[in-house]
Structure 1
Amino acid sequence: MNIQLTIEEYHKAADIFSRGNPDPVKKMYAHSDDVMLANPFGSTVKGWQRVSEALDLASSRFRDGEVKSFERIATYETNDLLTIFEIEKWTSRVGGKSEISSFDLRVTTTFRKENDNWKLVHRHADPIASFNDKGPIRGDI
């Protein structure tokens, strides 16, 4: 599969994830012992089983969401690996809150070519903090 089509599929999967469904993102991951996930809802996990469980937990925190945009900052590509760095602009109901929150995530994603398909092997996402004269202000996640 073409890497650009894979990235488009990944963006659609992230959007579906924002509504509480982890399945499309899970389908994009390699199911191997070296895959990793670091997200705002827990510690970094390694290995498909732990990543799968962490995706379930993280997606359960979101309802009625949408990823409004993906701003590509950098792309690093070889024949077998691709890493992208993006700013994702989200809206979602987070946790038990009834109101919809807006927040931006700073995300590094790596794909690896496996049997002529690009598979997700690493995602690190964290909320972008704002600062005022009293220190950092974090979003709702």
Structure 2
Amino acid sequence: MPAPTEEFLAEMLPRQTAAERAIHNGDAGPRTALWSKADPVSLFGAWLPIRTGWADVSDAFRRVAAQFSDSREYRFEVVAAGASGDLAYTIGYEHNTVTLNGKPATYTLRVTHVYRREEGEWKIVHRHGDRPPDEPAPDAPLNSR
């Protein structure tokens, strides 16, 4: 892996993993802090309609966090990543064991993130998550409102 990609991953992945654990414990704050507030930003959520613009994206994070608690495991398995200049991306799988709408759930999502460096700090500007074709749907789907 080229040095810029290794440096990006070393800087970003620990912060992103901590933020994902927090949102799966009901706290959207750390995820919100990792995202750019400068449009364009977009979220193609696994269970939510497409969101664009910071107001819609941040609202989606609060809604998602409200449905999760008791994160017992979160792991991000990186399949591919790259960084060049002020842009970077990750592609991988998120493995989760949590409580979703009051019921235990274990699931995997395929996820792609796009990052932009702003004032020297990496920020997420896009997330696309969906279930792999062979992954069963959780028993308690997220509210799509």
Q: TM-score, normalised by structure 1?
A: 0.86
Q: CA deviation at 1:109?
A: 0.8
Q: Kindly indicate whether residue 57 of structure 2 is the aligned counterpart of residue 51 of structure 1.
A: yes
Query: Which structure 1 residue ranges, 5 or more long, are not aligned?
Result: 132-136
Structure 2 alignment gaps of length 5 or more: 1-6
Give the total of aligned pairs: 133
* Separation in structure 2 between the aligned mates of residue 59 and residue 129 of structure 1, nearest angstrom: 25
Q: How does 1:33-112 map to 2 (within 5 A)?
A: 33-97=39-103, 100-112=104-116
Aligned partners of 1:128, 1:61: CA distance in 2, in Å?
21
What is the DSSP-based 3-state SS (H/G/I as helix, E as strand, rest coil) of the residue aligned with 2:95?
strand
Output one character per residue of 1:71-128: Cα deviation in whole Å (capped at 9) or x when no partner.
110012211111000111101111242xx21101111011101111111101111222
User: Does the 8 A contact of 2:46 with 2:109 survive in 1?
Assistant: no
Aligned partners of 2:56, 2:11: CA distance in 1, in Å? 27
Q: Which residue of 2 aligns with 1:116?
A: 120
Q: Residues of 1 paired with 2:23 and 2:47: CA distance? A: 14
Code of the residue aligned with 2:80 in structure 1: it is A
Show structure 1 runs of 4+ deviating over 4 A: none
Q: Percent identity?
A: 27
Q: Which of the pair is proportionally richer in strand?
A: 1
CA distance in 1, matches of 2:137, 2:34: 29
Partner amino acid, structure 1, of 2:108: D
For 2:31, the equivalent position in structure 1 comes to: 25
On the 8 A contact 1:14/1:67 being kept in 2, the answer is no
RMSD: 1.6
State the secondary structure of the residue aligned to 1:43. Answer: coil
Which of 10, 14, 38 aligns to 2:16? It is: 10
